[in-house]
Every structure is written in structure tokens, then in C-alpha cells.
Chain A
Amino acid sequence: MIKAILIFNNHGKPRLIRFYQYFAEDMQQQIIRETFHLVSKRDDNVCNFLEGGSLIGGSDYKLIYRHYATLYFVFCVDSSESELGILDLIQKMYEKVCLSLQVFVETLDKCFENVCELDLIFHMDKVHYILQEVVMGGMVLETNMNEIVAQVELQNRMEKSEGGLSAAPARAVSAVKNMNLPEIPRNINIGDINIKVPSLSPF
């Protein structure tokens, strides 16, 4: 089982946190701080495993992490997960022949086209949606990258067809524009045409 997935930057600022076991918010922050403290003091050329911190897990748990440019990707897992398997999941590394094992980071890369920290900062929700297709409830759901990307894209398309979250304000703006404010008093003045006003709202 995966107990938590944390992404934070070189200064320990969280970019995505996903706990699969309940911790109160302040505890979550403490865990992030502790994990950052453990991970950040390690050189880049040492191994990617850490025997778990004191706050999360205990002896059965391990921190498996990767450091890319400005970001740390940390998985806290128990002994049922294969260490190298999780690393594969973070990024394909130890796979040379079999292409079926794939990656969270590569998926992000595909979905955001050359992912960088800014993408994660501004689109935390999207990163979550991608992660949801890879890991569910602490268990690995899918390792086939093509499948993951396909499902993410289908859902995005669906969101687009609904107009998306950002489309709503745009529509509001156009509604306001269509109102043609100076005309409204005139219409009212005319008196019997003021029935038009309700028809203005295309909602």
C-alpha cells in the first residue's frame, strides 16, 4: 500500500499532497516538513530509499523518492510494494525491455507537454486527476501510460464539452456585453417592450 504521495520543491513548498490515510492538516504539514528535512539533505547521487520518518509509518514503511530539477516526488510505501516498482512508477528507470511499466512523471510530461514546476503550481487539480488514474486509494491502479493518458484526455474532453470551469465567467462576460446597457432604460421607457429583458439571460 502507498500511504502518501508528496510533491514539494527544493524549498519544501508543497506542490501536491495526497494522503491515503487520514492525518489532520497540521499533522500533514509536519509530515511534509519532516520528509523534506530527510530528503533534502541527501545528495543527488545516493540511493532513493529512506527508512521511514518517525511521523509517518514506522519500521514497515519506506520513503521512496526522486528529485527532478526543482521538485521532489516522494512516495511513502509499506513492504508490500516493490521498491524498484515504485521507482518505475515515478519514472521508468529499471525497465529496459518491457514497456508496460510506466510512469507518473512521464504521464505528467505528456499531459502538460514538458512539465515544469509552474505547471504543477497552477494546475494542482489537474495533477490530482492524473494521479487518480495511476494510484487509487493507496493502490496502483494502472501502469500502462497510454491507457492513463487516454483516460485523462477523455475526461478533459468531457469537461470541455460541458464548457469547463473557466467557461462560466466567459459566458457571464458575454451576457453582460449582450445586455447593451444603454438600451435597457429605453426599452423600459417604451413600456410594452420591456418583456424583452428576461429573454436576455441565456442561462
Chain B
Amino acid sequence: MALKIVKGSIDRMFDKNLQDLVRGIRNHKEDEAKYISTCIDEIKQELKQDNIAVKANAVCKLTYLQMLGYDVSWAAFNIVEVMSSSKFTYKRIGYLAASQCFHEGTDVIMLTTNQIRKDLSSPNQYDTGVALTGLSCFVTPDLARDLASDIMTLMSHTKPYIRKKAVLIMYKVFLKYPESLRPAFPRLKEKLEDPDPGVQSAAVNVICELARRNPKNYLSLAPLFFKLMTSSTNNWVLIKIIKLFGALTPLEPRLGKKLIEPLTNLIHSTSAMSLLYECVNTVIAVLISLSSGMPNHSASIQLCVQKLRILIEDSDQNLKYLGLLAMSKILKTHPKSVQSHKDLILQCLDDKDESIRLRALDLLYGMVSKKNLMEIVKKLMLHVDKAEGTTYRDELLTKIIDICSQSNYQYITNFEWYISILVELTRLEGTRHGHLIASQMLDVAIRVKAIRVFAVAQMATLLDNGHLLTGNMQRNGICEVLYAAAWICGEFSEHLEDPMQTLEAMLRPKVATLPGHIQAVYVQNAAKLFATVLRKQEGTTDSLAAQETSQLLIDRLPLFVQSANLEVQERASCILQLVKYIQKLQQKEVEVAEEVTALFAGELNPVAPKAQKKVPVPDGLDLDAWINEPPSESESEDEKPKAIFTKEEPKHTRPRHTEVDEKELARRREARKQEQANNPFYIKTSPSSQKVYQDQPGVEHIPVVQIDLSVPLKVPGMPMSDQYLKLEEERRQKERSERKKKEKKKKREKHGRGRRADSGPESEEDITPAHHVDIVTEEMPENALPSDDDDKDPNDPHKALDIDLDNLVSGSASRPLTDNEKLPVRTHRPAEAVKSPVEAGNGESATPEPKKKKEKKKDKERKETPAPPADASAEVAAGSEPEEESKSTKHKKKKQKKEKEEKEKKKKKKHHHHHHHHHHHLHSADESVQNGTVEEEEEPLPPMSNYTLLGENSYIKMVYDVQGNLQDGSQVVVSVIFENKTDHFLKSMEFNVLDSLNSKLQRPEGSSPHDGLAVPFQLPPGVSNEARFVFSVQSIVMPQKLKGTLTFIVKTEDASTHEKLDFKLHFTCTSYLITTPCYSDAYAKLLESGELKSSSLKLEGVIMPFHHLLARICFHHHFSVVERIDSCASMYSRSIQGHHVCLLVKTSNQTVSIDAKCDEPSLLGNVLDEIKHTFSQC
């Protein structure tokens, strides 16, 4: 044995530590992978050793290798081993490795639950800290559920170091286990006012994260945050709170009004740029939320804009960037105040920093107006010419198009100008946005009827010069515009001046080098043009010319018939045959133009992009059903034909099988792409190949052949957009002078009156469009479904956290935590009590559903109840109007204090039996009073619940509660909270009970009936924890008492003493009842069955509102309300052995009468006695 250890140490000597490994890797630059693989082999050897130090060292090295991209999940079990080492050094290594490589799919995680729990309750705060840190990275839903209550306990730990970590990790727990939010929230809220700034900041952090996703649930915290904001000096906390207010104000404009002043003060006073920036941001949010104008708002906006201008003018690029970012927020609601800084923003376009240029571009988007659109676009066009790097140039291009086309071309006064801008953009070499320009051309030409003549002329020139655009065709996305040009020329060919010339241009042999889908459009539209040409020529009775035209087509089309592209081939051969036939007819001197034109008659209307989606599904049509047998997987789908007539999105293809789910589609698409990529015969369409090319890293470095633009595309007859700008200015000048003249006339007419200073900047309305345009709106199907398309992502984990917390904190319709909302506390599970997870799951999932409904019902009922007594209503009002409270915080505080004192007095009178409460429970009770709801007391949270004192001495205090076991009719669960009252460590606690014939403590298999049960934790000084013990009972009709003893060791610095505490466990009959919901019809049937024995009870002098009384019965005696009418209510509960207990509760003049029915009279008698006892104590 000893030799083995010695041998181990000798081996150990030769191990590499992390530093050696790093050094080794650095020395093996050439064969790094090989070196690392030998290292991994060594590590595998080390992990096989028993020595934990060796293992820890190996795991440490693995963590490093993980960073280099090596999968180390195979060592997960060893990591768990190292985590469970008792030494902090090794434990820390283990947790670090776990946090780097564990995730929800790691199966050994489930082995860690107990280890983590042990570490969480470790006396060493750093063990706890390390465990919390690690857990925050790999918490799973299971871990969250199992450890939630342990972590919640740690939130009240004595050490702030632990408290802050516990508070912070709760957010992760909420995400994984949303049910924990409601029970944990009161304590979380309490931590907002923790004396330690670190803990406070952690709590603020968590609540801000929560509120960001579901702000409306946190509105009631606004007064508290307001207080924090005015008192805190921690900038980090301030930033968080101010950001939070930014999220809250849109929901509560009154809050915004309150905020403006303190925020403005902060803006003026702070020197921290980060804080200043966030203040400005929130003020902007406030101003946005206050739509109706308050007189002094313009001042706030001016202040913000001013401060932002300072930021933008700063030499620090970060501030410049953020300034622009914030500016764009103001822009949305107050465009005028930003527009005055146009010069500054245009300046930013020249910045060397691309991020800043992009931000400035964003801003410009919102700054355009009818007046300045042309000017801004002109500037942008200049930048397009100057821009280096295709990415930025492409960005500019899309922005220009976005700016012009925004809100249905609202700002465009002159569409001729816009068309020429688009045509100019086609000069861009190497852009991948050809299709974007194309779709704009199509859109404008189709929807703006007045522009068609001009557009068609422009497109014809484009087609004529098409070869210029296709210089570098394969890489060039710009040839997409030819698609648009050809379509426009064909569709609106009646506007063409010289259709013959265009027809010729479209049938040039060079066209055959264009991508297939464009050729197809060429061919189709050549046919349309042909029809137009025929008409013109036949009109002039020049039959020879018409025949020549036919001959032209017959000569040229065979080129396309040979095309490799199916679409082109098919169309070309069709049309070729058609033309041949026409030619025959022409030779017989038959007039055919009419018929040929009829082929293309009718107008195509623009359809809204989402129109298809909005078509209502007819009744009885199941879109998810297969129409025919699903195709086999292996069937290789042909590439879908490029959509020919889609105008909006030429690239859009509709999935053929809508019923196939997205994933499947993605998979197939991937497979198809792969197939296509590997198929040498597959001709890739240019847009997609363009994409692939773009996705490769480092596109910028690939030399792009620059076309010599010294000979610009200035084709005769093609107007430049600049001309339009000049023309437009002249036009406006003219208009203005005319207007002036008129005004002068007017002035002359009414001289003497106060003179208006004229020639100020003309307002929006003054600008009239150059010529009237009628923008055709896109068509929608009849009775289209109104739908919001921006549904939230259903997978968003935060959706589950949208939990109403208000009624936990305040509000009259409060909903107490129900049993199934309580955090699961670990129980010891006796062997026979363990159920298969499926069974247990069934049991759990079966109950909550009806329960929830019940809850809602209860809520409603409570809402309907008459106003609570005077003192309560006053406080409730205070709770529901947070602004008021903040208005006069000081005053209110005093008042609150007074009220609180009063409350406490009352409470003392009312609840004698509550004074045994566990200290932190008392704490939350206090808080509920502070929040000002009396109901909180009547329908308390579980912590201030039925726990009663079990035993107490100078070392330890135990309180307990007994609950029936939902899953097993012969069991009850006793939850005992142990509280360490000393400054010492309590350990080796053992819980033992003297079994009676009727009731027995469930012990693990194999132990004798006299053995005690070890309490599964130790208690550090001042800490409390809860353990559960299961008892089996036979008869439940009588209350029971069991004697028991708790033994434990008190460990002081120099000695440890053995101590014990005797106690008596009292099983009331109430504790055998389980809150079970019951519907009124079932309830009526039950009563009608006549199998129930009845009994009754009268209580005198009960001074409490009826709903309080009901809540009390519900809470303390596990009943649920079935129905309530005025001052009469029926209630129901069920025992663990299935006895039905029904109550009819009536009240009048301080007298409460309870008529009860149950199928077991002695049980009923005892329950009634207990109810009486409860009320005799108030």
C-alpha cells in the first residue's frame, strides 16, 4: 500500500503541469496537433490514477486544451470527481472545467446535484462561491428545480459575498425553472435594499434583466427604483436602473413625467460619460412615451440633442458612435430637432470609421423629407463613387434605395429623377444588389403609371447598352437589372418609341451569355415586343416590314432553342413555332397583329408581398394534410424553376410542400445544395453563386477588376440625375417666386397688418410634386386576415418568465402561492416511497391544470368582493399609484411607518400563534405589511404559513408543517426547518421519532425501527435549512401525537458537545386534508348522493371580512372555494385517503355558521374542532 503511494508520487514528479503543457505547445509550433495528442494520452493516464492531485492537474490541463478547441467532454466524469474533492484548490479546478464544458446535454450533470448542494451549504464561503459560479454556467432545468430552495436560502446568507452570488444566480434559475420566480420574488425584492452595495447591485441587475423582457410585471417596483435612483451613488447601479426606467416608461407615461426632472439634473451634474449617455437615452424614451406635448418638453429635447451633438463632435470615436445611435432614437419622434443637425451627420459620412458611417447612414434614412431627399441622395451618390470596399458601397446602395422607397415612396416628388438614380446605380461594378435595383425598377414602373413612358425609354437604352453591364458577367450581380429592363420594355412596349430597335437589342447573340433566368425573360418579352411591332407595321400597311420582323425572330430564336437552360429552351421553341406559323399566315396576307396582341392582353397588377399569407383558409380545408402520399426521402428534387413573373422578389421561390416543417426543409435544402455543388453538370445560377462567393472570408482581398469608368455610361439621351436636381431647384425657385409675388400682392391688399417674415425655409406642404403620380397600392386578397407578423419567438426562454408578480407584492386581488408553486425542498425518500418518474410525473401534471383554473376563478371572486375595510383600502390605493408615492416620498414614509406600527400591533393581537415564526419568515411578513395589504396576512405566502414550533432550546429551533402526500394515500410529509441559534457549527443532526401503532417514520430499508434519520445537511452559524420526513399513517380520522428527539453535535473552536432536543409532533386531522379543486356541478352531485354525514359549527364574534375568513380556512385547513354567493360559500377538500369534506360557510353579524358534510363523521368532527381552534385564536 505504502509502496503504491510512493510510486504514485514518483510518477507524479514527472507529470506536466499547466505551465509545462503551455511551454510544450509553444515549443512544438510545427507539429502542435501531434504534440497535443500525446499530451491528451498522458492526461488520460493521469486521470486513471487514484491521486486526486494528479487528477486535478490533468483536468486543469484539459481546460486549457478546451480553449484551443479540443472536445474534452469524455473527461466529464473525472471533472465531477475533481469537483467533489474536499480541497478548495482542486474543487475550484473542477468547477472551472465544468463551467467551461458542461451543458444541458452533459449526462453526468445529474450526478452533481448532491455535490453542489453540499458545496452550497459548506461552511467555507469560497466553496459555496465556487459552486455558485460554476452552477451559473451549467445550470439545467433539473438542477434549477432541485437547488432553487437551497439557493434561495443562500440569498439571506450572513456573508455578502455569498448573498450577491446567490442573488445573481437566481436569474439563471428563473430562466431554467420559471416556477421558482413567484416564490423567490419577495426575497429578491428585499435584496434591493440590502445594506451591502454589491448585493444591491446584483438584485438590481437581476430585476433589470427580468423587467427588460416583461416590463409590465415590474411597474409596481417603480417607486422603489425611484428611491434607489435618487439615493444610489454607484454608477453601475444607476446605469442599470436608468436603463430599466427606459423600458418601463412606455407602459406608464406618468412615471416618465416624474423622471424627467431628476434625469435632467443628472445630465447636468454627472461627469461620467456612461451615465450621461444612459440618462439621455432614457429621457429620449420618456419623451417618446409622452406623445401629448407638455410645454417644457422642447427644452428637454433640446438638452438631449445638444448633449448628443457634443458627443458626436467629440474626438473619441466611441462617443461619436453612441451619439449617433441615440440621435436615431430621437429622430423617430422628433425628426425636426435632429434635422437641424444634418450638416453634422453628413460630415460623419466622411469618417474613416465604418461603424460610424453606417450609423450616420441610418440617421439619414429618417432625416429625409420631400425637400432634402434629392440633396441627400446626391451626397450619397458621391460617396458611392468614392467608397472603397464593396461592403460599404453595397451598404450605401441599399441605403439609397431604402431612403427613396421608404413609406411607399413618400418623399419622392420626381420619379424621373428616381429612375435615373437607379440607372446610375447600375454602373456600380461588383455589387451584389443587382436584384434590389431590379425590383425597384419593376416596382416603380408598375405602380407609378405616369412614369412608364420615361421608364420604358430608359430601360430600352439600358438594354441597348446591355453589353456594357455584362462585362464581367459571372461575378456580376448587376446584370439582374437587365431582367427588369427586359420585362418593362416588353410589358409596356406600347410606350416604346422604336420597338423594333429594342427587339433587335433583345435578340443579340450576346444575350446568350446572360444567366438563364434573364434569357428566359428576354425571350418571353421579345414575343411581346414582336406583337407590338406587328401592330405598328400592319397599321401602316407595310406588310413587307412585318414579314421581315418575323424573319428576324425566326433567324435569332434558334440560338435560344439550343440553350442549356430548360426554361429558355422551352419558351424559345414555343415562340419560334408560333412565329413560324404567323409568318405563314402573313405570306397569305392575313392580318395577325390583333390575335398576336391578344396573347399578351390584360394588365398585371402589383400584389402585396404578404398577400398570399393573408388569404383566409376556407372552412374544412386542412393545409397540413397530405394531398397524396409523401414523397420518398431519396427522391432528388429538381431545382425549382426560377420564378419568371414574380416582380417583387425575383429570388423568392415558394416551397412546394408547405406541410414539411422548417427543419426538414432546411435539411433537404442543404442536401440539395451539396448535391448541386458536387454535380459538375449543374449550372449554378448567378445570384446563388454570388452568395457563396460573398460568404467566403476575405472577399475584399480578392482583386476586383475595375471597369474603366472614365467613359461613363453617358449614352446620348440618357439624362443624369444631377440634371434633375438642377431642374427641380429651378422649378422650386420659380414656384417660390410666384408664391412671393402672390404674397406680395396679398400684402399689398392687406397692408397695415402685422407683417409676416417670409422666405423662411419652405415647409413640407409647399413642395408640389413635379408631375402628378398615382402610386398604385399593392393588392391584397379580399377579406384578408389582419395579422401581426412579428410574433415573438415561441422559443424565447423569457416568455416563460412572463409571470404576474404584482399580486405577490401588492394589489387587492392577490393570489397566494399555491402548493404546486412552492419550491421543491429536498426530501429524503424512503425506498418504498420512490415512484417511477413517469408515475410521479403523471401525478404532478394531472393536478395543476384544474387547480390553475380554480385560481383564476378565485381571483375573479375576490375582485368582485366589496371594498376591503377602510385602513386596507387606503393602503391599497397607495400601492396602486406609485407616482404619488414618489412625489412625496418623505411624507409618505412617515405615514407608512405609522401605519406599519399600527398594523403590527393589530397583527400581534390577531395572531398569537404566529410569533413562533422563523426569523426570515417574520421578515417577509413585515414586508407584506409594508407593502400595505392586509390580505397578505390573511392569505399569506408559504414562508409565513402553517409552520408551528416543534421544539426549541438555546442551540436550535425547529418549526414544522405537515402536508398530505398527493401521491400516496397513506403518507404525510413533515417539513421541518432547523435554525441554528448559536455562533457554532451544528452537525451530525439525527432526527428520531418513537413510532406509534398508527404512525411510523419512514426509514431507509434495512434500518431498525429505532434508528434515527440523519438530517441531510449541517448548519453553519445563524443559518436555517429545511428537511422533509415522510411518515406513514394508517387511520387518519383522529389527530395523533408522536414523541421524538433530535440529537446533534455542537462544534466550537476547541471542543464539540453532544446535545439533544425532545419534541412532540402533532398530526392534526387538517394535515391529512389536501387542497383539491372541485367544480360546482360535481360538488352538487356529491351532496345529492346522500352518502355524507353532516355536522355543524357556530362561531361567535368573528370580526373579519368574509373573504378573509374564507382565505383563512383555505390556507390553514387546505380547503378550496367551490362557489361563493355574497356572504355564503361552499368549500371542498379531500383527505389523503379520499374522504370528501364539504363545508357551507355563512356569515351574518359576526356570527359564522358552518354546516359540514363528510363520509367519515369522526374526521369531520376533528376538522371542525380544529377550525374552531383556529378562529378562537384570532
Binding site for A on B (CB under 8 A): 1-3, 5-6, 9-10, 12-13, 15, 17-19, 22-23, 26, 53-54, 56-57, 60, 63-64, 66-71, 87-90, 92-93, 96, 100-101, 103-104, 124, 126, 132-133, 136-137, 139, 161, 164-165, 168-169, 171-172, 197-198, 201-202, 205-206, 208-209, 212, 233-236, 239-240, 243, 270-274, 277-278, 317-318, 320-322, 352-356, 358, 697-698
* A201 in complex: contacting residue of B5, B19, B273, CB < 8 Å: B5
Do most interface residues of chain B lie in helix, strand or loop, or is the interface mixed? helix
Would A139 and B53 count as touching, CB distance under 8 A? no
- With A17-B67, A25-B69, A37-B697 as contacts: A96 and B272 at CB distance below 8 Å: yes
Would A198 and B235 count as touching, CB distance under 8 A? no
* B137 in complex: contacting residue of A137, A140, A165, CB < 8 Å: A137
Output the residue of B53, B274, B322 with the most chain A CB within 10 A: B274
Would A47 and B2 count as touching, CB distance under 8 A? no
Chain B CB within 8 A of A187 CB: no
The residues of B that contact A88 with a CB separation of less than 8 Å are 274
Would B318 and A49 count as touching, CB distance under 8 A? yes
Chain B CB within 8 A of A125 CB: yes
Would B317 and A45 count as touching, CB distance under 8 A? yes
Would B88 and A162 count as touching, CB distance under 8 A? yes
Nearest chain A CB to B412 CB, angstrom units: 28
The residues of A that contact B243 with a CB separation of less than 8 Å are 80, 82
Chain B CB within 8 A of A159 CB: yes
The residues of B that contact A14 with a CB separation of less than 8 Å are 67-68
Would A22 and B234 count as touching, CB distance under 8 A? no
Nearest chain B CB to A39 CB, angstrom units: 12
Binding site for B on A (CB under 8 A): 1, 14, 16-18, 20, 22, 24-26, 28-29, 37, 43, 45-51, 80, 82-85, 87-88, 94-98, 100-101, 121-122, 124-125, 128-129, 132, 136-144, 147, 151, 154-155, 158-159, 162-166, 168-169, 171-173, 175-176, 179, 197-198, 200-201, 203
* B17 in complex: contacting residue of A136, A140, A162, A165, CB < 8 Å: A165
* B274 in complex: contacting residue of A46, A85, A129, CB < 8 Å: A85
- With A155-B126, A164-B89, A201-B2 as contacts: A132 and B69 at CB distance below 8 Å: no
* A25 in complex: contacting residue of B64, B71, B87, B352, CB < 8 Å: B71
- With A100-B234, A172-B9, A198-B2 as contacts: A47 and B165 at CB distance below 8 Å: no
The residues of B that contact A22 with a CB separation of less than 8 Å are 103-104
The chain B residue sitting closest to A168, CB to CB, is B53
Would A165 and B57 count as touching, CB distance under 8 A? yes
A51 to B395, CA, bound (A): 14
A selection of 5 A-B contacts at a CB cut-off of 8 Å is A1-B209, A45-B352, A165-B56, A165-B93, A169-B17
The chain B residue sitting closest to A15, CB to CB, is B67
The residues of A that contact B10 with a CB separation of less than 8 Å are 172, 176
Would A124 and B271 count as touching, CB distance under 8 A? no
A128 to B354, CA, bound (A): 33
Do most interface residues of chain A lie in helix, strand or loop, or is the interface mixed? mixed
Would B235 and A101 count as touching, CB distance under 8 A? yes
The chain A residue sitting closest to B320, CB to CB, is A47
A163 to B148, CA, bound (A): 34
Would B198 and A139 count as touching, CB distance under 8 A? no
The residues of B that contact A159 with a CB separation of less than 8 Å are 88-89, 92
Nearest chain B CB to A133 CB, angstrom units: 9
Would B355 and A49 count as touching, CB distance under 8 A? yes
A120 to B870, CA, bound (A): 66
Would A165 and B6 count as touching, CB distance under 8 A? no
* A85 in complex: contacting residue of B103, B136, B206, B239, CB < 8 Å: B239
Would A80 and B209 count as touching, CB distance under 8 A? yes
* B322 in complex: contacting residue of A26, A28, A83, CB < 8 Å: A83
Would B60 and A98 count as touching, CB distance under 8 A? no
The residues of A that contact B212 with a CB separation of less than 8 Å are 80
Would A169 and B12 count as touching, CB distance under 8 A? yes
The chain B residue sitting closest to A98, CB to CB, is B235
Would B209 and A50 count as touching, CB distance under 8 A? no
The chain A residue sitting closest to B196, CB to CB, is A147
Nearest chain B CB to A186 CB, angstrom units: 17
Would B53 and A46 count as touching, CB distance under 8 A? no
- With A95-B274, A98-B272 as contacts: A141 and B126 at CB distance below 8 Å: no
The chain B residue sitting closest to A155, CB to CB, is B126
A100 to B67, CA, bound (A): 32
The residues of B that contact A50 with a CB separation of less than 8 Å are 355
Nearest chain B CB to A94 CB, angstrom units: 4
- With A125-B63, A139-B209, A172-B13 as contacts: A26 and B198 at CB distance below 8 Å: no
* B165 in complex: contacting residue of A125, A141, A198, CB < 8 Å: A141
A48 to B316, CA, bound (A): 10
* B93 in complex: contacting residue of A26, A125, A171, CB < 8 Å: A125
A96 to B22, CA, bound (A): 39
The residues of B that contact A171 with a CB separation of less than 8 Å are 9
A122 to B26, CA, bound (A): 11
Would A29 and B355 count as touching, CB distance under 8 A? no
The residues of B that contact A166 with a CB separation of less than 8 Å are 17
A98 to B234, CA, bound (A): 8
The residues of B that contact A132 with a CB separation of less than 8 Å are 96, 133
Nearest chain B CB to A198 CB, angstrom units: 4
- With A50-B355, A128-B96 as contacts: A142 and B5 at CB distance below 8 Å: no
Would A137 and B318 count as touching, CB distance under 8 A? no
Would B273 and A137 count as touching, CB distance under 8 A? no
Would B89 and A96 count as touching, CB distance under 8 A? no
